[in-house]
Structure 1
Amino acid sequence: MMGDNIEHVITYLVLWNTFHSPVLVGFQLVSHWLPFLLLSVYAGALAERFDCRRIIQIAQGLFMFVSLCWGVLFLTGTLQLWQACVLLVLHGLAGCLWGPAEQMMLYDFAGREQLPSAVRMNATFRSLGVLFGPVVGSALLLLFGATGGIFANIVFYLPLTLFLTRTSFTGHSREGRMMAKRVSLWQSFRVLGTVRRDRVIMGMLVLAALASVSIGAVLQTAMPAFGTALTPPGVDGELVYGALLFALGIGGVAGGFFLEASGWFKPTVRTAVISSITFGAFAMIFAFTGLLWVAVVALVLTGFSQITATSTGQAIVQLEAPPGQRGRVLGAYSMFGPGMQTFSGVTVGVLGSLLGIPITVIIGGAVLMAGAVLTGLYMRRAPRRAAL
């Protein structure tokens, strides 16, 4: 995740300085999340059929190949718009490919009883990468420039790639042999029929989709606008902007460690619903307040609520998924969660231009809160075994 975010920091800056294209900025968001929307379920089918270690290594290799191509184009000064678009799409495909395989391996490592803990810690360290990726990316830019920094970024993908050469876990050992038959892209989506009949899994998918569409990447995308509005007289605006981003990130990281250390929040439907409600509520407080210290506290609590909702939903989906379809069900969760962030750019662009960014976030938070309540009522009618 650190390598992923370092690449964003370096490439987005170079692309803006090279092309000055607002359309390309929008394409950057779409190209990153659209593969999750369209291909996550199929990536889950691949994780069921093949060795998960190799799938993740292929994804890591694709990440490194993209960074290498960026570096060559920067070095030779031959970067063109179509090349940038192709590399952005390949980067999004790499991110989509490894998610279900990684989650299946967590089940192998931890087993059913310890799975929620494994999912929480995995989410926490992903948040840690997201938090420090921009910091490290900025440092690489300062020390080595865009070309040297993007070449150096290849190193950040190596630890996981090398680790997988030494582990014997494949993502299948607890469930027996791998899926024997080949599943096409179209056939993989049939798992949505299975998901639709399970109210708990369906509820988790709806909560993930609501969070992505209503708030999703909106906060990070719109943070410069909030930084400008919340900067007190005589204070550096860039410092405030950085503090706001750090507050959101540290809320997720600290929240993950707190959840694991305290054991207070169990992976239940109630936890998922309540944390989704508080996610929307704290985002609304942040958008509404004009006080910097209130905004910082609200963002920390927003990050805390977000990681609670995400890790809880992911754990429940893993536990409820039929063993023979676990990879595809996990892919469906990525489709409804990260994949739906494809539309968060529309949320910012359309509503933000009509109503302003703060009102857009307030509306998004209210939609998430109301949707979480309705989804919770829907899941109450689920069989007792699924209530966890």
Structure 2
Amino acid sequence: MFGSLRERNYRLFASGQIVSLIGTWMQRVAQDWLVLELSGRSPVALGIAAALQFLPTLGLSLWAGVLADRMDKRRLLMLLQASMGLCALALGLLDVTGLAQLWQVYLFCFVLGCFSAVETPVRQSFVVEMVGKAQVTNAVALNSMTFNMARIVGPAIAGIMITLIGTGWVFLVNFASFAAVLAGLALMDAAKLHRATPAPRERGQLLEGLRYVRGRPDLVMLMVLVFLVSTFGMTFFTTLAVAAANVFGQGADGYGLLSTMLAVGTLTGATLAARRSTRGRPRLRLLFGGALVFGVLEILLGLMPTYLSFGLMLIPIGAALMTFTTTANSTVQLAVSPQMRGRVMGLYMLVFLGGNPIGGPMTGWLAEQFGGRAPFIAGGLVSLVATVGCALLLVRRGGVTVPRPRWLRARG
């Protein structure tokens, strides 16, 4: 189940990541709450903040994939992580001194989004260099476990800290947490990385990557499905804060608890994915099944009558969501040639995160016009329809085979 941890470089990376990610999740909760405080609890303001943080993905993630194929990923990650830490420091200092204004938070959302848009495809494509192709599915699942362990701890700590001492110190703690991941990257043995031959610096490399994906019907449908589910269904950064504050009348600690409940589910899903990774390559049927269950459960989430039932429903939703996302990520990583991995992962992160500038304001508008439950019901319906539609199209184009029932095989 933990085969990828045999690699020392990956152990250094994972241990640094869990500390840094706890800080990152603390900042996400604090940032959302600060926006709500500065805007008079406006769902639209929260949607704008989410859009600004993910908007740079549209313009930068594809080029980040090109950089990942050309450059030393480890050194590039160190530079990007340090820059993200400085953003946390600057926002924290503004907040603790009482100078923070809404436009400043918006500005830092955008700047941090620029660094994150480049860092994410580089980090995703760096996984296979740390562990090798044989362990990449396991490493992707363990990354998700690390991410979601931090997602459990971070929001809970942030909710308590915000209640006791305010949001500013949460940003400063996140700044300090970046030291862990930088130390892990610095201590790696570069000679033991499983590096592919870097792509030469040539014109047209970005278009070459897009043509590569266009020629693969399975990748095209996977990207379409990931875009629709992530844009309209995976909007929890905006919707959970709105549900906590405007639907159930909770404070920052109540929002932090909802985030933790979702993380319990996603951690469970990531653990199951790590166990499945020992059985071979991921399957498209698991991908579509996870997306289908997620859509149904999200509709039910929007109908939950109490804060307790709403929070408990987040656990199976998180498990289904993680089944879908880890299967999609590892499928893409294993399906492409090493020389194309950075560019394809850049496109993957574009469709995975690039819809947030649409989804963030849209969910804020839905919540303001129709109530805080509306984004969950709408997101679940879109995810459900998208899953069924993409599965049928892929079957028609021959990208996946539907097994015949046993009684038919016996007669044939």
Distance of 2:241 and 2:106 partners within structure 1: 25
From the superposition, tell whether residues 56 and 382 of structure 1 become closer, same or farther in structure 2 (CA, over 3 Å).
farther
Pairwise CA distance, 1:370: 1.9
Distance 1:40 1:243, change over 3 A: same
Where does residue 26 of structure 1 map in the other structure? 47
The secondary structure found in structure 2 opposite 1:27 is helix
1:222 aligns with 2:239: yes
Aligned residue runs from structure 1 range 54-69, under 5 A: 54-69=75-90
Is contact 2:288–2:391 with CA below 8 Å preserved after alignment? yes
When residues 150 and 298 of structure 1 are mapped into structure 2, their CA distance, relative to the original with a 3 A threshold, is closer
Segments of 5+ residues of structure 1 without an aligned counterpart are none
Residues 265 and 362 (structure 1), Cα distance of their counterparts in 2 relative to 1, 3 Å cut: farther
Whole-Å Cα distance in 1 between the matches of residues 191 and 389 of structure 2? 38
**SS of 2:53's equivalent?**
helix
Cα separation, 1, equivalents of 2:28 and 2:343? 28
Q: Tell me the alpha carbon deviations over residues 290-312 of structure 1, each in whole angstroms, 9 at most, x when there is no partner.
A: 36665444321110011110010
Query: Counterparts of 1:65 and 1:88 in 2: how far apart (Å)?
Result: 13
What are the equivalent positions in structure 2 for 1:199-238 lying under 5 Å apart?
199-217=217-235, 219-223=236-240, 226-227=243-244, 237-238=250-251
What is the aligned counterpart of 2:189 among 154, 162, 168?
168
Matches within 5 A, 1:179-194: 179-181=199-201, 188=206, 190-194=208-212
Instruction: Kindly provide the amino acid, as one letter, of the partner of residue 216 in structure 1.
Output: M
- The residue number in structure 1 matching 2:9 is none
Does residue 1:129 correspond to 2:144, yes or no? Answer: no
Matches within 5 A, 1:28-177: 28-74=49-95, 76-79=97-100, 83-141=104-162, 145-169=166-190, 173-175=194-196, 177=197
Deviation at 1:119, TM superposition (A): 0.7
Q: What is the aligned partner in structure 1 of residue 267 from structure 2?
A: 253
Asked if structure 2 preserves the Cα contact closer than 8 Å seen for 1:53 and 1:170, the reply is no
Q: Which residue of 1 aligns with 2:4?
A: none
**What does 1:6-21 correspond to in 2, within 5 Å?**
6-18=26-38, 20=40
Partners of 1:56 and 1:97 within 8 A in 2: no
| TM superposition shift of 1:12 | 4.2
- Describe the SS at the equivalent of 1:164: helix
Distance 1:13 1:246, change over 3 A: closer
Closer/same/farther in 2, CA of residues 16 and 304 from structure 1, 3 Å limit: closer
Q: Answer with 286-295 or 47-56: which moved more.
A: 286-295
Q: Does the residue aligned with 2:325 lie in a helix, a strand or coil?
A: helix
Structure 2 match to 1:299: 314
How far, CA to CA, are the matches of 1:229 and 1:13 in structure 2?
Answer: 13
Q: Secondary structure at the residue paired with 1:337?
A: helix
Name the amino acid aligned to 1:194: Y
Residue by residue over 1:314-347, the C-alpha shift from the partner in whole angstroms, topping out at 9 and shown as x without a partner, is 1111111232211010011111012212211233
**Paired residue type of 1:311:** T
- The CA RMSD over aligned residues, in Å, is 3.1
Q: C-alpha offsets along residues 105-145 of structure 1, whole Å, 9 cap, x if unaligned?
A: 21122222221111111122112223322222234445654
The amino acid across from 1:9 in the alignment is V
Moved more, 336-345 or 360-369: 360-369
> Aligned partners of 1:61 and 1:158: how far apart in 2?
8
Q: Which moved more, 1:143-152 or 1:328-337?
A: 143-152
Partner of 1:5: 25
Q: Structure 2 unaligned segments of length 5 or more: list them.
A: 1-20, 404-412
Question: Which range moved further: 28-37 or 347-356?
Answer: 347-356
Deviation at 1:80, TM superposition (A): 5.2
SS of equivalent residue, structure 2 residue 373: helix
Within 2, Cα distance between the matches of 1:244 and 1:141?
Answer: 15
Distance 1:350 1:118, change over 3 A: same
Alpha-carbon offset, residue 382 of structure 1: 4.1
Partner deviation per Cα, 1:88-110 (whole Å, 9 max, x = no partner): 21111222222122222211222
Quote how far apart the aligned CAs of 1:355 are: 4.0
Give the structure-1-normalised TM-score: 0.85
Count of residues in Structure 1 that have an aligned counterpart in Structure 2: 378
1:366/1:80 CA distance change after superposition, 3 Å: closer
CA displacement, residues 163-213 of structure 1 (integer Å, 9 cap, x when unaligned): 1111134997442x21220568xx625522221221111122112111112
> In 2, Cα distance between the equivalents of 1:356 and 1:119?
36
- Of 156-165 and 141-150, the range deviating more from structure 2: 141-150
